[in-house]
Amino acid sequence: MHLVEQYALTTGVKITKPFIEASYYPLVFDKYIVVENGHDVKSRTYGMWADVISEIKPYLDEKQITIIQIGDGKDDQIPGCYDLRGRTSIKQSVYVLKKSLLHCSTNDFFLDVATSFNIPVVAMYGSTFAGIAKPYWGNESQQILLESDRKGKKPTFLADENPRTVNFISPEKISNGILKLLKIKLKTKTKTKFIGDLYTAHVLEAVPDFSPPVDFNPELVVNLRMDYHFDLQNMANWGSNRKINIFTNRIIDLNYINAVKKNIVGFQQEICTDLNNKYLNILKNLRVPCELFTKNERALGKLRMKYFDHKITLKKEKTLEDIKESNKSFTFSENFHYKSNKLLLSNGKKYLSKYDYLAGREYKGESHKVIDDPKFWEDQDYLRIYEKNV
Amino acid sequence: MKKKKIVIHSNHSRAFTGFGKHTKNLLQYLYNLDKYEIIEFANGLAWDAKETKFLPWKCYGSLPNDAQRINQLNKDPNLARAAGYGAEMVDEIIKKEKPDVYVGIEDIWGFSGYWNKKWWNKINCMVWTTLDSLPLLPEAVSAAPKIRNCYVWASFAVKEMHRLGHKHVGLLRGSLDPKHFFRLSDDNRRQLREKQNISPDEFVIGFVFRNQLRKSVPNLLEGYKLFIKKNPKSKLLLHTSWGEGWDIPRLLKEKDISPDNILTTYFCHECRDFEIKRFTEARENCRFCGGEKSQETSNVKHGITEEQLNLVYNLMDVYCHPFTSGGQEIPIQEAKLTELITLNTNYSCGEDSCSEESGGFPLEWAEYREPGTQFIKASTYAESICKQLQKVSEMPTETMAQLGKKARKFVINNFSIEVIGKKFEKIIDSMPEVDWDFDFKKIQSDPNYNPPEIEKNAEWLIDLYKNILKRDVDENDDGHKYWTQELAKGGKREEVLNYFKKVANDETQKEQIPSFEDLLDKKDKGRRIAIVLPSAQKDVFLFSSLLPSIKKLYQDYNIYFITKPEYHEILDGNPYIHKILPYGDQLDDMFTMEGRGDHEGYFEVAYFPHTTTQKFITYVHNCKDKTDFNLQCT
């Protein structure tokens, strides 16, 4: 039963049309679509807007259609949109919606407002059935409802889910839906083959083979890969005025750690031969948040005995088999491309994965091909793999 | 001459508690004097409870009549506790009765926040409270300077208050009525023992207790175990509820004491007689009336009368009262009135009852600290219990009798209602006339006030309190002390001034919030419909599609839509809504909105649509449900 039908039953009256006032809001665009991504109900926040926008934007730019993001000032910003977050009242948002060509969001109030004005919508549902929350008014042929497959499970109806099931909806389904309702023909079709568990999180990594510019101050914590390149002075430079999470497979001179300890938010120590309890106790006394891990499953028991007072995590290196296990139909193809939410900086250059860094495949904005190499599959949690021109 | 009007605020005078018994004694004493107009303000009863109607004096309960309000209060343990002590209705009784004297007889935390009340110290205010441990409860120490007439029940607390500089704190003990407790004649005592199957040569040690005193049972049993080795013909009578607290049978087993040596009081709720016997089962058959499982050990719900309790004391040869700490420990005084030699822990209020003049003997103890509060508590030595029991058991009958008489006299001279009542009278009579006008209108705070140049911080702060917050404080006030410290630490006056102005602003805004009833039109009474839908955007918007149909059905009615303020904008300009009102938890109740009993309610019809969609989700049905009728307007 739809939510509004339940309200009708509770009150014993019939459903008519909803009512809401609109307030004028000045806009410089004639043609635009509206997107919205909430923040308070986490399970309704879609994590791959950047992919959606990157797929539709070239088409919309051609037609001079702007993408406007409305919503609360606390909502995550969607890149490539004209930003009205926190700048409009509800009634002004209604005005913006009323004049739009299309609205796209997860299950939210503005979807219902848009359809009450017969605006085409693309709607995404994860934690709830679309059937109980879908738009109740408007022309159904102008509504594309995308419901997560939830990997065969029923909806959780939770405000915060893990994993967030709305993220199981692949970005191309949304972008295709938007373009279809706008009657724009696709030139290149894509099909998502795999989405890593951490793909929706942004990760910034740096190899300490260079010193960052003094004014480089990202909002994100920098994963400092001392395990890729061991340079104490550069480590100290990175940690001098930005928050760092150190990954290392060697022990680090305590003087250097002491120098940057106030900026160390994490310390991922891979167990190595020269590691000892005394060193770990000093780290503890320095209040360095050290986490021990090993990639060696066979040695795990012995290591846990040796470092009994510390917690050791097993971090197995991911392989192609892990992808196949979670997605039985996955078969590698030369035609696969990938996107990554991890950005790795080395010597002032950008890379999308460890493999690209090792292979010297610099990121310059274009998509990269998937390479069937064990080093490539290690980073699978951060990747979205898709097939082009299907 | 006009009689002074006194509000006595405590446990209800019919409550079977220490405060309740004391309040009864006091009220009866005052009533018999016919000198004052007395009003009982009884904790634990609703304002108009029927129990308040059958007393010789005027009585009000200190809880609100409105059951919904009580339910609301019960959602917050702090509010519920405060309401239990009368916080909800105390202003009401002062407004209604305009008394000359307010007397609060309760635990000190029962008066929390009273010092800031409009009427506090404008009328004569007296707090008569119990304190049980050292160091004294910080709340009591900080309250003392704010209570002009402050009395405590035990001398150790007075001494400590004086030591801390609060010299005005006086001693006024809790009262007892000696006529309820007395020693029976030897013949009557013999007959009593016969009836209860206790042989005349058995040495009976008694202990009347519940609550915190259960903590001392292991010590008492240990002491008794030592005693019984030399005195096998002795019995220990534990007058208590065996269903609460310590597992006494298990303790007996652990200490290898035969259950045959332990007696208890069973009370029959059919014939209301009592029987002293060995504890066996929680419920026993009554040998007096034949009632099946009608006997149980004395508890809060079912207990023996004062007269019967007097008989229980008269079965004892000695009264032994080990405890951790206490405010007065009334059973010790009751036992003394029955001319028993009393043994009690020589700590806190116990110091008063084991002095030589009191006819009692002290029990030695070791100190331990209560976790959290760090209060000193006493763990009574088993050896001391045994030693003093032995001393009494070996005492010649005449000496015992002399000491018993001394004990009774001590209680009559120090605790009897005649003595306490007279002291109380003297205090009341010395209180000045009240010239306050009982104007409860709040004086508005003034956030725009700017203080003149005042050199001393202390005086500057008093000026801020007086002119911004409109409060009269002195240097002893907690707030004053806090700000003095902050300024001494280098805090800036400008920041303090801004804080005071902010508080004044907040208070002014709060004052401007109207009551719910004020938000409703006066003209549409009996023609109001409420939609209570607290959140969220989607729900409020979807619900707007039902309003035309509701209006069509109830054409002469006004629709009030109640939702959280952040959703009001969604409903702006809706032609079917008469008023949009802010949602509050207390409105989420049908009987509050529609009324029941004495409460008339505000609306004829109140809908709570979120009950089945948010509170309890009932409509999902895997999206497979069907409806046999059309829910849409055609």
Average pLDDT over residues B543-564: 96
DSSP for A182-228, written as a single string: TT---SS-EEEEEE-TTTTS-EEEE-SSSPPPTT---SSPEEEETTT
pLDDT in tens, A229-278: 999 999 999 999 899 999 999 999 999 999 999 999 999 999 999 999 89
Q: pLDDT band for A358, please (50, 70, 90 cuts).
A: very high
Contact (Cβ atoms closer than 8 angstroms) between residue A315 and residue A295:
yes
Q: What token pair was written down for B288?
A: 């007096």
Neighbours of A199 (CB within 10 A): 24
ipTM of the complex: 0.81
Can you tell me the mean pLDDT for B551-568?
95
- Is residue B142 over pLDDT 80? yes
Which residue would you say has higher pLDDT here, B592 or A377? A377
CA–CA gap between residue A274 and residue A291 (Å, rounded): 16
User: Cβ of B547 under 8 Å from any chain A Cβ?
Assistant: yes
Identify the residue with better confidence: B15 or B315: B315
Structure tokens at B168: 């005005």
pLDDT one-digit tens code per residue, B211-236? 778 889 999 999 999 999 999 999 99
- The per-residue pLDDT for A389 is 76
Q: How far is the C-alpha of B267 from the C-alpha of B246, rounded, in Å? A: 20
Across the range B423-433, mean pLDDT stands at 96
Going along chain A from its start, the domains and CATH numbers come out as 8-187 (3.40.50.2000), 193-390 (no CATH)
**Per-residue model confidence as pLDDT tens digits over B99-126:** 999 999 999 999 988 988 889 999 999 9
**Does any CB of chain A come closer than 8 Å to the CB of residue B615?**
no
Question: Structurally, what CATH architecture does the domain formed by B4-175+423-429 represent?
Answer: 3-Layer(aba) Sandwich (3.40)
> Do the beta carbons of residue A125 and residue A149 sit within 8 Å?
no
Q: What pLDDT sits at residue A71?
A: 94
Q: Which residues of B touch A136 (CB under 8 A)?
A: 542, 545
Query: What whole-number distance in Å separates Cα of residue B86 and Cα of residue B64?
Result: 9
* The two three-digit tokens of residue A4, written as one number: 């509004």
Whether the CB-CB separation of B546 and A2 falls below 8 Å is answered with: no
Max alpha carbon distance in chain A (Å)? Answer: 76
Contact B631 A14 (CB under 8 A): yes
Query: Across the interface, do A13 and B544 touch by the CB < 8 Å criterion?
Result: no
Q: What is the pLDDT of residue B301?
A: 65
pLDDT band at A373 (very low <50, low <70, confident <90, very high): very high
- For residue A379, is pLDDT > 90? yes
Q: Is the pLDDT assigned to residue B319 strictly greater than 90? A: yes
What are the residues whose beta carbons fall under 8 Å from the beta carbon of A101, sequence distance 6 or more?
A31, A32, A33, A65, A119, A120, A182
Structure tokens at B616: 């309890």
The whole-angstrom distance between B612's CA and the closest CA on chain A is 8
A187-205 pLDDT, tens digit per residue, is: 989 999 999 999 998 899 9
B28 in the Ramachandran plot: left (φ > 0), alpha (ψ -120 to 50) or beta? Answer: alpha
Q: Which amino acid is at B154?
A: A
Residue A27 CA from chain centroid, whole number: 30
Q: Counting Cβ atoms within 10 Å, is residue B586 exposed (0-12), middle (13-18) or buried (19+)?
A: middle
Cβ of A6 and B619 within 8 Å?
yes
Q: What is the mean pLDDT of residues B517-539?
A: 94
Q: How far is CA B364 from CA A114, B268, B346, B428, B529, in A?
A: 82, 37, 6, 39, 71
Q: What is the pLDDT of residue B372?
A: 84
Predicted confidence (pLDDT) at residue B303 exceeds the cutoff of 80 = no
> Of B127, B115, B209, which is closest to residue B168 (Cα–Cα)?
B127
Q: What rounded mean pLDDT belongs to chain B? A: 91
For the stretch B326-383, pLDDT in tens is: 999 999 999 999 999 999 999 999 999 999 999 999 999 999 999 888 999 999 999 9
| A153 touches B at CB < 8 Å | no
Average pLDDT of B547-572?
Answer: 95
Q: Is the pLDDT of residue B300 over 70?
A: no
Judged by average pLDDT, the poorest of A334-343, B214-223, B441-450 is B441-450
The pair of three-digit structure tokens given for residue B276, joined into one six-digit string: 């002293």
**What value does the mean pLDDT take over residues A40-58?**
94
- Does A6 contact B548 at a Cβ distance shorter than 8 Å? no
Check CB contact under 8 Å for B545 and A10: no
Contact: B612, A157; criterion CB under 8 Å: no
Q: Is-contact B367 B377, C-beta < 8 A?
A: yes
Q: Does B618 touch chain A (CB under 8 A)?
A: yes
Cβ–Cβ gap B574/A19 under 8 Å: yes
Contact A1 B575 (CB under 8 A): no
What pLDDT score was predicted for residue A21?
A: 96
- Region of A38 please: left (phi>0), alpha (psi -120 to 50) or beta: beta
- What's residue B505's pLDDT? 85
Residue of A nearest to B540 (CA): A109
Buried b (16+ CB within 10 A) or exposed e, A122-132: bbbbbbbbbbb
Reported as half-sphere exposure (CB side, CA atoms, 13 A), residue B570 has a value of: 25
Using alpha carbons, list the distances in angstroms from residue A90 to A70, A85, A105, A110, B539. Answer: 10, 11, 16, 9, 15
- Between residues A132 and B246, the one the model is more confident about: A132
3-state secondary structure (DSSP) of residue B99: coil
Q: Which among A50, A104, A100 has a CA at the least distance from the CA of A80? A: A50
The single-letter DSSP state of residue B359 is T
Contact status of A11 with chain B (Cβ, < 8 Å)? yes
Q: Two tokens at A308?
A: 């009994």
Residue A352: φ, ψ to 5°: -95, -15
B535, B537, B546, best to mutate vs chain A, most A CBs in 10 Å = B546
Per residue in A140-165, pLDDT (tens digit) is 999 999 999 998 999 999 999 989 99
Share of chain B above pLDDT 70, in %: 98
Residues 6+ apart with CB under 8 A from A241: A214, A217, A263
Closest chain A residue by Cα to residue B570: A20
pTM of this structure: 0.59
Least confident range from A300-304, B240-244, B335-339, B360-364: namely B240-244
Q: Is the pLDDT of residue B478 over 80?
A: no
Q: Report whether pLDDT(A375) > 90.
A: yes
B199 near A CB under 8 A: no
Average pLDDT over every residue of A136-143: 96
Per-residue pLDDT at B272: 84
Q: How many CB pairs under 8 A join A and B?
A: 114
Residue B513: the pLDDT is 63
Compute the distance between CA of residue B453 and CA of residue A283 in angstroms, rounded to an integer: 55
CATH 3.40.50.2000, domain B178-414, yes or no: yes
pLDDT over threshold 80, residue B476: no
Two tokens at B375? 């209060």
- Give the pLDDT score at A390: 61
Domain locations in chain B as residue ranges: 4-175+423-429, 178-414, 457-511, 517-623
Contacts of B549 in chain A (CB under 8 A): 13-16
Give residues with Cβ within 8 angstroms of B454, minimum separation 6.
Answer: B460, B463
Q: Does B526 score more than 90 pLDDT?
A: yes
pLDDT at B515: 75
Distances, alpha carbon B362 to alpha carbons B235, B323, B359, B384, B584, in Å: 21, 12, 10, 9, 58
Closest to B386 measured CA to CA, from B263, B200, B203, B240: B203
What are the residues facing B104 on neighbouring strands? B9, B127
Amino acid identity at B385 = I
* Higher-pLDDT residue of B300, B202: B202
Residue B500 CA to residue B494 CA, distance in Å, equals 10
Write the residue in B541, B553, B623 that is nearest to A13 by C-beta: B553
A20 contacts B570 by C-beta, under 8 angstroms: yes
Mean of the pLDDT values across residues B288-309? 84
Q: List chain A residues with CB under 8 Å of B570.
A: 20, 90, 109
Q: Which of A149-158, A313-322, B70-79, B620-629 is predicted least confidently?
A: B70-79
